[in-house]
Structure 1
Amino acid sequence: MKTKIINLYYRTIYELQSWNWTMICLSIISLELAVLLAVSLQNQNLDADFSKNSLELLLTINGLFSAILVTYFFNRISWILSLKKETYEEAVEFSQKITEFRRICDKLTEYYNVWEDDDATKSLIEHGAYKHIDYYDFKMLSMSDYKPSEKEIELIEKLQNDKRYKSGMSDLFLGMISLVRNRKSRNLFKDRELYKDFQKKGIYNLEFIEKCVEVDYASRLGYSFNKDYAYIKYYALSKKSKEYILKACERIDAKYKGAELNNKLMSEICDDMNEHYFKELYQLLLDLRKGLSGMNLLIFSILIASILFGVLLPFFTYFIVDNIELKQVLTSILVGLNFGLLFFFVTNLYGIIKREITWT
């Protein structure tokens, strides 16, 4: 309990240190100035033309200011879309690498008499009661507080207690076949991109890659190959299947050209997948999912505030509100708010520009 409190304390301190306290202080000052000006104007005996002239001035200034902000904001959006396009193209490339890895797993789990014990692998896991057990659930159940459904827990426990089950070999086969097919789906056909060796455009969804990263999927598969356990009889594969796998390895990385199909090659492929491809694709997918944040969110907020308090509400007050006293009260508030907004923008302008031109 004491350790959790200490960790929470340090996380809180870290979060507080990462905040932009200069902007927070200037925001508070701007709000106080806005309130002070609004109250001061309300306490003065202003003539009837005050509201009309003030609202006209607000509409003129903020109309121009909002137009500039809109132009600048959409220029940034265009720039962001260009970056997103580049990110998407990278994600397509990494997704294709993972597809090649899945094709290798597909070919290694496709036939009987390729594994040392079909009863512990293909016959046990692909058919019968265990055909819908997924490797992610299987591993997460033993390493965290994650809990699948009661039915899935019972099936996993039943599998582990089955006399045909062999820890290591059965686990490896389950991991590989779970990459080939969606084990929880009633449709047991493999995905279209696994047929032949076509290069497909498209990216994997974030949830799938997130699970692979969370459970160190490729690393766990690579453990058995790294230890050189004799689970797979590579010599039992046909010449065509071997060539298919080796070409897929070469498409993942040209360094595998001319390699021999064995545990060493599979260990290196799994290591590359775990340390690079899955993690890089995961970060790219996170970047693609991001909406407005940081500077873009700040500029968008200033733009919305400018349009709302500097254009829409003054327009409404100028043309719709007939009561003179109410119009003067609203005008005082709007003048105060617009002064506060302008003060905030001007005092933070240097910081905004600095963040724009400083990339490291």
Structure 2
Amino acid sequence: MRKKKAEIIRRFYLILYKIKNWDWNLILLGFISLQIAILIFVRLHFYNITIDLKSSLELILTFNGLFSAILMSYFFNRISRTLDSKKEDYEEAVMFSQKITDFRRILKKLTDFYNVWQNDESTKGLFLSGKYKNVDYFDFKLSSYSDYEPKDINIIHDLYKEPRYLDGQSDLYLGMISLVDNRKSQYREYDSILYKTHQTKGIYNLKFISNCVEIDYAGRLASRLRTDYEYIRYNNLSTESKNYILELLERIDSKKFQNAELNNATMVEVCEDMNEHYFKELNKLLLRLNMGLSTFNLLIYLILILCLIFGVLLPFLTYFIFDETTVLKKVITEILIGVNFALLFFFIFSLYSLVKKEITWT
């Protein structure tokens, strides 16, 4: 109950923080602009002010045609720059993804063989077949300290009571193999990129990386490796496997792991680097790559669409479809005059804020 209340409070403050960060000046300016549009329409419609409908529509079409063209050019220029920025983010994401792939390759080699772990029954025997073969470390760990309940929560509860389950060793092994394989798959599908040492060009899925960041995944592995030096018997690995792991460590960070020894201290260091740098940086990059239009671009897009609809499309239709003596044409023209004046008012008085956002990077 206390956890649920804490989660509700956390979400409330998150929403409050987002509301505080809204641009209230632009919101107020938008509200004032709407009031101006209404006042102009009321003034034109109910005070019997005579206007030349044809000339008014021609003026709206001429002005907005030019203004929309300029705005459209500016908008697509910003989109082009955003795409260039995302290309740079993608290249960086590929680099970080390769580092994480090499880390997963190391974990695969450490969990591949029998007689490498202190107790094979509490590791390979417990998790590679039988009741617990689909238990995933993310679900297992997140459910242990939050209200999160995966589909196999009952099996996870049973795992704690399992005689073969050894808190530190089984926890560490499950964490490693959950990064190596898709534990939720009914059929064990080995990831082809984990074989050999070839470079890859892909990037990881945002959900996978954000899950790792959410529970401090690699940091928890480091914590387990730091507490007991008997979980993994590195000397029982073949010379080929040791060299393979050391090569990958050097590829992850050539300066730090050059001539490194394969032991828990080295594994703790690479796990901490993964947790504090590689996973978090990749998560930021993937968030940016998955983001659509920014708030600023969305605002420009909205102004552009409103100008095209109320300044080009509707005036064009009104100009050619309705007869000059039609009351509806007069009403629509009055509305368009009010709306276009309001759009112009909003753009002029928001120009400083828009330019400031363009040149301020922090």
TM-score, length of structure 1 as denominator length:
0.94
Question: Residue 32 of structure 2 aligns with which residue?
Answer: 29
Q: How does 1:245-284 map to 2 (within 5 A)?
A: 245-254=245-254, 255-284=256-285
Cα distance in 1, alignment partners of residues 186 and 9 from structure 2: 47
Question: Residue 164 of structure 1 aligns with which residue?
Answer: 164
Q: Could you give the per-residue CA deviations for residues 192-251 of structure 1, whole angstroms, max 9, x where no partner exists?
A: 110101100010001111111111110111112122431000000000000110111111
Q: Could you give the per-residue CA deviations for residues 244-294 of structure 1, whole angstroms, max 9, x where no partner exists?
A: 101111111111010000000000011001101111111111111111122
Question: Residue 184 of structure 2 aligns with which residue?
Answer: 184
1:342–1:214 CA distance, 2 compared to 1 (3 A)? same
Cα distance in 2, alignment partners of residues 46 and 100 from structure 1: 75
Cα distance in 2, alignment partners of residues 14 and 214 from structure 1: 20
Cα distance in 1, alignment partners of residues 74 and 344 from structure 2: 17
Cα distance in 2, alignment partners of residues 12 and 189 from structure 1: 40
Shift in Å, 1:18: 2.4
Question: Residue 173 of structure 1 aligns with which residue?
Answer: 173
Question: Residue 53 of structure 1 aligns with which residue?
Answer: 55
Shift in Å, 1:128: 1.8
Structure 1 residues not aligned, in runs of 5+:
none
CA contact (8 A) 1:55 1:314 kept: yes
Number of equivalent positions: 357
Question: Residue 325 of structure 1 aligns with which residue?
Answer: 327
1:21–1:158 CA distance, 2 compared to 1 (3 A)? closer
Q: How does 1:211-230 map to 2 (within 5 A)?
A: 211-230=211-230
Question: Residue 193 of structure 1 aligns with which residue?
Answer: 193
1:20 to 20, 23, 36: 23
Shift in Å, 1:3: 8.6
Question: Residue 342 of structure 2 aligns with which residue?
Answer: 340
1:12–1:134 CA distance, 2 compared to 1 (3 A)? closer
Cα distance in 1, alignment partners of residues 80 and 24 from structure 2: 30
Question: Residue 203 of structure 1 aligns with which residue?
Answer: 203
Paired letter, 1:30: S
Cα distance in 1, alignment partners of residues 87 and 103 from structure 2: 25
CA contact (8 A) 1:133 1:184 kept: yes
Q: Match of 2:41, SS?
A: helix
Shift in Å, 1:21: 2.5
Q: Could you give the per-residue CA deviations for residues 130-155 of structure 1, whole angstroms, max 9, x where no partner exists?
A: 11111111111211110011xx1222
1:253–1:126 CA distance, 2 compared to 1 (3 A)? same
- The question of 1:40 aligning with 2:58 is answered no
Greater shift after overlay, 249-258 or 1-10? 1-10
1:12–1:103 CA distance, 2 compared to 1 (3 A)? closer
1:327–1:91 CA distance, 2 compared to 1 (3 A)? same
Q: Match of 2:204, SS?
A: coil
1:92–1:8 CA distance, 2 compared to 1 (3 A)? closer
CA contact (8 A) 1:228 1:264 kept: no
Structure 2 residues not aligned, in runs of 5+:
none
Q: Could you give the per-residue CA deviations for residues 314-334 of structure 1, whole angstroms, max 9, x where no partner exists?
A: 111111223611100000000
Q: Match of 1:295, SS?
A: helix
CA contact (8 A) 1:216 1:274 kept: yes
1:357–1:305 CA distance, 2 compared to 1 (3 A)? same
Q: Match of 1:168, SS?
A: helix
Q: How does 1:61-210 map to 2 (within 5 A)?
A: 61-149=63-151, 152-210=152-210
TM-score, length of structure 2 as denominator length:
0.94
Shift in Å, 1:10: 6.4
Greater shift after overlay, 168-177 or 32-41? 32-41
Shift in Å, 1:187: 2.8
Q: CA RMSD in A?
A: 2.0
Q: How does 1:234-249 map to 2 (within 5 A)?
A: 234-249=234-249
Q: Match of 1:118, SS?
A: coil
Cα distance in 2, alignment partners of residues 207 and 8 from structure 1: 20
